[in-house]
Amino acid sequence: AGPVESRNEAAMSELVPEPRQKPVVPMKPMGINASLLGYIGIDTIIEQMRKKTMKTGFDFNIMVVGQSGLGKSTLVNTLFKSQVSRKSSGWNREEKIPKTVEIKAIGHVIEEGGVKMKLTVIDTPGFGDQINNENCWEPIEKYINEQYEKFLKEEVNIARKKRIPDTRVHCCLYFISPTGHSLRPLDLEFMKHLSKVVNIIPVIAKADTMTLEEKTEFKQRVRKELEVNGIEFYPQKEFDEDLEDKTENDKIRQESMPFAVVGSDKEYQVNGKRILGRKTPWGIIEVENLNHCEFALLRDFVIRTHLQDLKEVTHNIHYETYRAKRLNDNGGLPPMTVETEENHESNL
């Protein structure tokens, strides 16, 4: 029995491979997450960036769209606490309503706390004021795309400017008439066409003409109509970068939008304080009081929390979409500028 067992053991030892030695894993260098031995100064990067951007300044281009008489100019003046609108920049009171939609851009430099911002307000007089308003959004869409084209031409030049002038529309405030019923077909058509090319923020103008119940109902109805028609306004759901963004933006989308606002550039004395407001026979509507209207919410949203994001979404989403389509239509080549076309013709 002894030789048979030893034979079986030999056969099994042939079948079972010897356990391989595990490769030696190099030890992680000690202190990879340890505290620094001394001060390096990487925390000054933020300060370096701040100094650099403070020197160059900022661009912000805001467009206002809506029928005449909805207080667009007044609201923009109230938003920036300065006379920045077309009407306050030498507007003639005898000026008639234009027969077609015009685009008027007015630039200003605003400075606050050492921060300079080149603000451009783009007005669209004549929008929605005609008997036949068919396709009246086309000049506006054309203007927005022209600014993308201008930026693209500068970008693809061989000798590029160190800082390309940014005339692209970062934000479009769309003024909804406070009817209390529903959106007009014109409102839906405009937002359907333009929401794909620009950041649209819907605003219910002259909200003091509605009661609180009417205002709440109208806001809900507008939100529902936009959802049913598949119209996405800013901040768009797909551009939320993380959970914190999503939570913050969901609150804005579900509660604040569209902002029901009142604008005023007149000051009144209330309880010993100077406040912006509108005087009525039964009291003063305080523009910056959240119990009276949502102007403060709109200002905080556009300027204090989302201004940089509006610029980034314009550059990374809307402009990139335009650029990709433009280059794709051109066979992947950058669009020829006027100069290169002339040079090309002279070479032939």
pLDDT for position 29: 54
Return d(Cα 173, Cα 328) in angstroms, integer. Answer: 31
In tens, the pLDDT along 99-137 reads 567 888 888 888 888 888 899 999 888 787 777 778 888
Percent with pLDDT over 90 in the chain: 23
pLDDT for position 256: 84
**Number of C-beta neighbours around residue 233 at 10 A:** 18
Return d(Cα 262, Cα 289) in angstroms, integer. Answer: 10
Residue 216's domain comprises 56-86+97-263+294-328
8 Å CB contact between 249 and 235: yes
The letter for the amino acid at 284 is: I
Going 188 to 255 to 64 to 86, the CA torsion angle's sign is positive
Predicted confidence (pLDDT) at residue 345 exceeds the cutoff of 70: no
Return d(Cα 74, Cα 278) in angstroms, integer. Answer: 12
Mean pLDDT of the chain: 81
**Torsion from C-alpha of 170, 196, 65, 147, nearest 10 degrees:** 50
Question: Helix, strand, or coil here: 72?
Answer: helix
For the residues of 146-205, what is the DSSP string, one character each? HHHHHHHHHHH-SS--SS-------EEEEEEP--SS---HHHHHHHHHHTTTS-EEEEE-
In tens, the pLDDT along 2-39 reads 555 555 555 555 555 555 665 555 555 555 555 778 88
Going 284 to 286 to 292 to 294, the CA torsion angle's sign is positive
pLDDT for position 271: 81
- Residue 61 within a domain: yes
In tens, the pLDDT along 281-322 reads 878 887 777 888 888 889 999 989 899 999 999 999 999 999
Question: Helix, strand, or coil here: 95?
Answer: coil
- Residue 220 within a domain: yes
Give the Å distances, CA to CA, from 56 to 51, 162, 188: 9, 11, 39
- Residue 38 within a domain: no
- What CATH number did the domain enclosing 177 receive? 3.40.50.300
Is the N-terminal amide bond of 258 cis, ω within 30° of 0? yes
- Residue 306 within a domain: yes
Predicted confidence (pLDDT) at residue 207 exceeds the cutoff of 60: yes
More confident residue, 87 or 220: 220
- Residue 14 within a domain: no
- Residue 300 within a domain: yes
Q: How long is the chain?
A: 348
- What's the number of domains the chain is made of? 1
pTM for this model (two decimals) = 0.79
- Residue 341 within a domain: no
- Residue 15 within a domain: no
In tens, the pLDDT along 218-244 reads 999 999 999 999 898 888 888 777 888
